[in-house]
Structure 1
């Protein structure tokens, strides 16, 4: 899929009139008190079960979608980005998704909108809003499904997700401003102004796609940000926000312990890697093959044969009696009150050209019920394999789309 910036939407980052090449914004975990999705009454058991349920639903929708559907389920994402749209800027919270392309938000007038916790964006109040994106434009042609206005050449979009959620509206442009960067503007950003939206979007404003398609945020900014971005995901228990960086702010490859693996060419918007083997202790288990790295899926979903051998090796190394998870959301669990009570094991994912060494926080998760469980599951038969966000905690992860590679560097993400 083309990674070129849209000719009709060349976006520049402008700070006091000067061109800049880098940007850092905060990623807010969906369960943070700062998030519109926050549920103060949720217990640790609720949160872990919900995470596993969303992860499984998102995973299954990776291979149930059709050609005219977008990816997975929009409510599956774990991280939100605060941004502002329009002039004057109006604050929004949108789910960040490396598995989607389109940027879209709910807009007035809204014929059918789900509930969100703050006013909908009203384009009539923005002096920089334009809906003059034509049906024959590059932007409109980049949509999987689109149409034309009955009385004009206006591009209309109809975006469907794997769980039957949808957003319909007009393709438009406006100025985007990111939280904490009041003087940094992205004029002419192409986005979907959704007038009919329904499904599992919860209380957020919409979605910011970071996939490989031409309408994603990173693709629209590719020339300005040197076609690269990175994130560093903090442990949820830290209470801090993660960081998303673009352009010159990305510095993963400057780390002495950074490793890189090539992106695998595929006919979709996902980021595919090649997994050659996994080592548990001294036991190297070959296999894995094509695997999608995804910021919105919590758990790892591995080739069934690879998973079975990995689970057996983990059981042998841990040496404790396992117990069943109360609702079966996880396959391998131990009765422990904290991750530190699980004997440390060594686990390395061997991608082509890159050995990524995981820590306990990447391998297990405290799921409540006095249990710590393996944060990996077998994939469904011939379904896709996923490298989820749990395995990426405390790593700088760089997407260098110009060089067509992804890099990993272990880090204390609370310091970024």
Structure 2
């Protein structure tokens, strides 16, 4: 789903139905500047003073709920005055926050009403002459009358959103004593009011909430505009969890991942990084008792930042060689015959549900630099259809890969841009 121009290229033969035709992989033409340890270009000077409101926000834990639906996680927040609920895809692989807006000239069907900017007293489009128009994204274009800042944001899946950049009030919940648990409204957040949106979206998805590191993302804007700590945490419920079961996403102070069982790995900034992805280093993978290094070479050298953590991509995507070795080891250690006569499943490693539950599967450990993350059946296998469980991995011809949201479920994961680490804590996210 993300807007990013890294050159990871994916195998075109990836056809298993459970990874959904609407899967949006994260590499577009959008590039952004860095924020906070990563230099932000977007600075609202009128909010820079430490007012009592700003101090309250810095002490706040801004929160939102998320739910699982068809391989994506829908984050809930409210936009405008009066506030209108939005359910957007929570996406750590892109930056732009956008929603479908009236009038929608070329849009996909959604169940809930589209946001109507004329119905909000706090909506204001961004002028083409403003600094924000030219700095927050590099794909903006002036309207014919120079009045509005038009944008185009593309994704590698050929999904595209086009519309107008604007300021609006966003409303979240809060757990702070000072706010007495009342919602916190933040005025002036930049978002895309999408008037032409195409791609493989389903009717529950009203847009995308970019949680990357670039200046247009929600995290960067909370930090640069309101002084909230640049950190957030998420706890994703397992695939196919009832959509009525939600878990929390927390932003700012109070979102730290602490306590027993926490492991952390450093974020990696690359020289050609446009600041969006959360790059980390995967050293290898253990299947049962067998350790498989990331690179099967005599040198054993591993490039820093060879994976990035992406809540918007369902499967974990591994370089071809590592993928082949992991799948071969899984086949060796699971005392069952895989499904080989179902063309809908493609080449994925799949088993009958009743047999795999009875036999069980080996534990996989993802060995990140400084952090061993254990993956069980819940994070490894997903059901593309009744009676079938398939391994939630796929392959790429690139040297790097993606740590997808299947593997992230049932972990409290903290992204701390100030300390430049990602932390993992095992947790039943359905009971968070």
**TM-score band (shorter)?**
0.7 to 0.9
Which residue of the partner structure matches residue 65 of structure 2? 26
- Secondary structure of the residue aligned to 2:223 is coil
Which residue of the partner structure matches residue 376 of structure 1? 393
- Secondary structure of the residue aligned to 1:245 is strand
Which residue of the partner structure matches residue 186 of structure 1? 186
Alignment partners' CA distance in 2, 1:374 and 1:403: 34
Does the CA-based 8 Å contact 1:133-1:140 persist in structure 2? Answer: no
1:287 to 267, 289, 294: 294
Alignment partners' CA distance in 2, 1:274 and 1:408: 14
Which residue of the partner structure matches residue 176 of structure 1? 170
1:219-298 alignment runs, 5 A limit:
219-222=220-223, 224-236=227-239, 238-239=241-242, 240-252=245-257, 254-266=258-270, 267-268=273-274, 269-287=276-294, 289=303, 290-298=306-314
Which residue of the partner structure matches residue 326 of structure 2? 310
CA shift in 2, pair 1:164/1:364, >3 Å: closer
Does the CA-based 8 Å contact 2:62-2:173 persist in structure 1? Answer: no
Deviations 1:29-58 (A, max 9, x none): 124xxxxxxxxxxxxxxxxxxx5xxxxxxx
Does the CA-based 8 Å contact 2:238-2:379 persist in structure 1? Answer: no
Does the CA-based 8 Å contact 2:383-2:390 persist in structure 1? Answer: yes
- Secondary structure of the residue aligned to 2:63 is strand
Shift of 1:237: 5.0
Shift of 1:112: 3.1
Which residue of the partner structure matches residue 218 of structure 1? 219
Unpaired runs of 5+ in structure 2? Answer: 1-32, 175-180, 296-302
1:107 to 101, 116, 126: 101
* Structure 2 residue 144 is matched with structure 1 residue 150: yes
Shift of 1:415: 2.4
- Secondary structure of the residue aligned to 2:125 is coil
Which residue of the partner structure matches residue 25 of structure 2? none
Does the CA-based 8 Å contact 2:232-2:251 persist in structure 1? Answer: yes
Most deviating of 401-410 and 131-140: 131-140
CA shift in 2, pair 1:127/1:382, >3 Å: same
Q: Give the alignment's TM-score, normalised by structure 2.
A: 0.78
For the aligned residues, what is the CA RMSD? 2.7
Does the CA-based 8 Å contact 2:89-2:312 persist in structure 1? Answer: no
Most deviating of 320-329 and 275-284: 320-329
- Secondary structure of the residue aligned to 1:229 is strand
Which residue of the partner structure matches residue 300 of structure 2? none
1:348 to 344, 365, 383: 365
- Secondary structure of the residue aligned to 1:311 is helix
Alignment partners' CA distance in 1, 2:386 and 2:102: 44
CA shift in 2, pair 1:366/1:219, >3 Å: same
Does the CA-based 8 Å contact 1:261-1:406 persist in structure 2? Answer: yes
Which residue of the partner structure matches residue 362 of structure 1? 379
Does the CA-based 8 Å contact 1:338-1:366 persist in structure 2? Answer: no
Alignment partners' CA distance in 1, 2:53 and 2:260: 32
Deviations 1:193-229 (A, max 9, x none): 1223333333332211111110011110125331001
Alignment partners' CA distance in 2, 1:95 and 1:161: 14
Q: Give the alignment's TM-score, normalised by structure 1.
A: 0.81
- Secondary structure of the residue aligned to 2:85 is strand
- Secondary structure of the residue aligned to 2:264 is strand
Alignment partners' CA distance in 1, 2:198 and 2:137: 19
Does the CA-based 8 Å contact 2:163-2:193 persist in structure 1? Answer: yes
User: Alignment length, in residue pairs?
Assistant: 369
Shift of 1:139: 4.8
Shift of 1:14: 9.5
Deviations 1:136-177 (A, max 9, x none): 413532213111233235322122222333222221101011
Does the CA-based 8 Å contact 2:308-2:403 persist in structure 1? Answer: yes
CA shift in 2, pair 1:166/1:402, >3 Å: same
Alignment partners' CA distance in 2, 1:301 and 1:360: 17
Deviations 1:234-271 (A, max 9, x none): 2245532132111123131x222111111121313111
CA shift in 2, pair 1:343/1:92, >3 Å: closer
Alignment partners' CA distance in 1, 2:249 and 2:287: 31
